[in-house]
Amino acid sequence: MSERITRDDVAHVAFLAKLAVTDAELDEYTSQLAAVLDHAADVESLDVADVAPTAHPFPLSNVLRPDVLGPTLDRAEVLGQAPSVEDGRFRVPAILGEEP
């Protein structure tokens, strides 16, 4: 199997991405991601040292709108879609491990 990505790497990125993976999934994802990265290795032979990166197909600059009041989303409609709200705000469980 490829050494491009290890089981520990996959476990680490799953943790960073807030995804829980089982041992069996870890094995499967490791081999699948390694296959994709193996395929992507074809770009290694390219000399792109002097090539500028393109993050976006067209040049972008910041777009500003006039600083005037306009329509906004309805707060009740937005909050109405949340799993839990309290006093006009989104409600979440404990954030630091204390009792909610």
Partner 1 sequence: MSGSDGSGSASLAAAPPMGTAATIAAGVRSGELSARVVIDAHLAAIEAREPHVHAFNLVLADEARTAADEIDRRVAAGDDPGPLAGVPVALKDNLCTRGIATTCSSRILDGWQPPYDATVVQQLAAAGAVAVGKTNLDEFAMGSSTENSAFGPTRNPHDPSRVPGGSSGGSAAAVAAGFTPIALGSDTGGSIRQPAALCGVVGLKPTYGLVSRYGLIAFASSLDQIGPFATTVADAALLLDAIAGHDPMDSTSIPGPVPSYSTTLDRGVAGLRIGLITQLMGEGIAADVAARVRQAAEALEAAGATVGEATIPAIEYGLSAYYLIAPAEASSNLARYDGVRYGLRVDAPTTAEMMTATRTAGFGAEVKRRIMLGTYALSAGYYDAYYGKALKVRTLIIRDFAAAYEQFDLLLSPTSPTTAFRFGDKTADPLSMYLNDVCTIPTNLSGDAAISVPFGTGDDAMPIGVQVLAPALGEVPMLRAASVLEAAAPTPGIAVLGEVVR
Give the footprint of partner 1 on this chain (CB under 8 A).
5, 9-10, 13-14, 16-21, 29, 32-33, 35-37, 39-44, 46, 48, 51-58, 60, 62-63, 65, 73-74, 77-78, 81-84, 90, 92-97, 100
CB of 42 to partner 1, least distance (A): 6
Phi (first) and psi of residue 50, to 5 degrees: -100, 10
CB 83 within 8 A of CB 92: no
**Which lies closer to partner 1 via its Cβ, residue 63 or residue 69?**
63
Q: Measured between alpha carbons, how far is 33 from 30 in angstroms, rounded to an integer?
A: 5
Tokens of 72: 């906004």
